[in-house]
A and B are shown apart, each in its own frame.
Chain A
Amino acid sequence: DAGVIQSPRHEVTEMGQEVTLRCKPISGHDYLFWYRQTMMRGLELLIYFNNNVPIDDSGMPEDRFSAKMPNASFSTLKIQPSEPRDSAVYFCASSPGQGRTDTQYFGPGTRLTVL
């Protein structure tokens, strides 16, 4: 299994630009999670999906952030417009669900730098 795949691995952009992060979960997993990790705040859950439906987006910082999951194998996290304080490492994770296990498996992350 290839594991959770994220792209790009690194993104450098200027303030005000739109940023789109992408994630492919592990095949067969029903849950997908987006996290943000910073030195200041640690690992924060932004949003998660179950069977492509957003379940809890209470961690999304503000309206500049949006996430979609158009199908079971793809999700995006978009920031528009981006700001320097959005600089962080963004992780996507997936878990099987359906009572099998609650273990979440993380991707390698996207390091975002907003200048």
Chain B
Amino acid sequence: GESVGLHLPTLSVQEGDNSIINCAYSNSASDYFIWYKQESGKGPQFIIDIRSNMDKRQGQRVTVLLNKTVKHLSLQIAATQPGDSAVYFCAENTQGAQKLVFGQGTRLTINP
């Protein structure tokens, strides 16, 4: 029979509102973090990254915040649009290591 799949956390927001997607990481040695966006039927797409010597980085309509004290990462999307609907993954790695460790993802749904 069908296996039970991952239960992705889901965030629903109204179009035009701001979204905040959170991610906790466990490895205190991680020093590089990336947010990916995956739309249905597509591969993960790079959005924004941040290194551990920063606590905030801004892109176009997106901001990533890093709190190393509590090992927490967040992605803020301003003025969400229907095209922002996707699953968002955080990923981390340690300097010199090429393997990224991915979170389970958060599904963002934009309501009209």
Q: Are B98 and A97 within 8 A (Cβ)? A: yes
For the complex, give the distance between the alpha carbons of A107 and B38 in Å.
11
Pick out which of these stretches binds chain B: A12-20, A41-49, A64-72, A73-81. Answer: A41-49
Given contacts A91-B44, A103-B46, contact A40 B98 (CB under 8 A): no
Contact B102 A40 (CB under 8 A): no
Chain B interface, DSSP helix/strand/loop, else mixed:
loop
Residues of A at the B interface (CB closer than 8 Å) are 4, 31, 33, 38-43, 45, 48, 50, 55-56, 91, 93, 95, 97, 101-109
Compute how far the CA of A23 lies from the CA of B17 in the bound complex, rounded to whole angstroms.
Answer: 39
Taking a contact as CB atoms closer than 8 A, the residue among B3, B45, B98, B104 that contacts A106 in the complex is: B45
B12-44 interface bits toward A, Cβ cutoff 8 Å, 1 = contact, 0 = none: 000000000000000000001010100000111
Q: Which of B34, B89, B100: most chain A CB closer than 10 A?
A: B100
Q: Which of A31, A43, A50, A101 contacts B44 (CB 8 A)?
A: A43
Q: Name the B residues within 8 Å of A4 (CB-CB).
A: 43
- Return the 4 tightest CB-CB contacts between A and B, nearest first: A39-B5, A106-B43, A106-B44, A43-B102
CB-CB under 8 A for A40 and B43, given A31-B98, A56-B99, A104-B100: no
